[in-house]
Structure 1
């Protein structure tokens, strides 16, 4: 029973983490109400509380919108916040003090208006918060990294065009089970998929080389290893029935992850401070 509870908790953690701010389902009336509301300019949070947390507690880590205007972030380091805000793999972020990768923070913030902000709008407000409350300053440099390129496999893609409205938010939710991970993706672009892979799953930057436009629905199931999810997901046993990630991507999606080296526009932190008092 304890093991089952652990994995249920992990499922909840990584549904939120990999989802990266996807909205919860809404009724048709709620959606219509939101459409009727004027859309504010989402430049910064109306108010935000930042609290340091004990990294030894190993709390669930996620960023999610709860309701229309409640932004919640749990147990992120500043480096991981920068990676989320600027859509980068953490390895593409360098410089700054050592605590940037060891101090953990919770953020609770209120977004303006009565319309749920999109993922991009949430990240714009998070970027403002990093500047205003953490004093973040950085510059960008092109650097060569070990990367993965996502390409189309020899026999072509096995992706279904999404039936969702083009302006519906994408859904990519990684759910952890004892021997495998499932990723049901809905209304997702290849850019959405690559963003998820490099921010939450893989240990290096990922570059989209598929040339595939549009939005797709697909399901991906694989057995995780120690390099994925920052080492925080239990490694699948050797007799797991699900395939490893790279084979699953090829067999189930008709795509291919190729390990290579290539340029990435990296962030070099020039200045960052522990957050100002609430």
Structure 2
């Protein structure tokens, strides 16, 4: 085999060095991109909530295109929203529930909710020195099965969507796996994770009625969420009767989060 030596002129060497030098900052930038962060954020203890008394546990979380506002929230609630989990999936010290805070944060322009959640994770790590560990545990879940067939309609096409219609909420192009995931958030908020055991393939169109008209819908849902809707059927009952689904308590491996460290007093704004 014959080996040949490639001679490089001084000018060529200089060109290569300049090219590498100009590329180095870009390579470094790609490796050290800053984590997602709010443009401005304020985190303060809520003195009224920490003092106890009537309404001391009432929390509000509001997300707009430009701002995330949390009033009188526990750190557990903030963690739950940031990581999109349920209470049963979070473990840690008891004070995570008792201490109350106000969080107000501005997003840099139009920001997707998934990115806002990541921003809040980073904010909690910064201000509360929050350290968490993700793991899988066998937790109590609802196994969702079919109780009565014929309640779900095969999807007629179109986009995956959730829209209010009068006193009902309509779901289009939804799979049973997507519904199981949705049941942990509004308007359902079931108290434990749901695992799809229906065996139903494909996507469906269905509607869940909560009130007689649009004006009563918001009031009814808020009352059910707060447990103050007198005479209202439980969410499980609504799903059983209207969608023909059944829910049985079982054990299943579920992604969970353990708080390893957090400080009660957030760092200054």
Shared fold (TM-score, shorter chain, > 0.5): yes
- Whether the 8 Å contact between 2:154 and 2:203 is mirrored in structure 1 is no
Query: Given the alignment, which residue of 100, 112, 118 partners 1:118?
Result: 112
Name 2:190's counterpart in structure 1.
202
Max Rg structure: 2
- Structure 1: which 5+ runs fail to align? 1-40, 173-181
Q: Report the TM-score, using the length of structure 1 for normalisation.
A: 0.63
- Whether the 8 Å contact between 1:64 and 1:72 is mirrored in structure 2 is yes
* CA gap 1:157/1:133 in 2 versus in 1, 3 angstroms: farther
- Whether the 8 Å contact between 2:66 and 2:106 is mirrored in structure 1 is yes
Q: Does 1:253 align with 2:240?
A: no
> CA RMSD, aligned part only?
3.4
Name 2:102's counterpart in structure 1.
106
SS of equivalent to 1:72: strand
Cα deviations by residue, 1:7-29 (Å, 9 ceiling, x for unpaired)? xxxxxxxxxxxxxxxxxxxxxxx
Name 1:149's counterpart in structure 2.
143
* CA gap 1:186/1:65 in 2 versus in 1, 3 angstroms: farther
Q: Name the CA distance, whole Å, in 2 between partners of 1:247 and 1:266.
A: 27
* CA gap 1:163/1:131 in 2 versus in 1, 3 angstroms: farther
Query: Given the alignment, which residue of 252, 257, 262 partners 1:262?
Result: 252
1:205 deviates by 2.6
Q: Name the CA distance, whole Å, in 2 between partners of 1:59 and 1:70.
A: 23
Query: Given the alignment, which residue of 132, 136, 146 partners 1:138?
Result: 132
* CA gap 1:262/1:81 in 2 versus in 1, 3 angstroms: same
1:143 deviates by 1.5
* CA gap 1:215/1:266 in 2 versus in 1, 3 angstroms: same
Name 1:4's counterpart in structure 2.
none
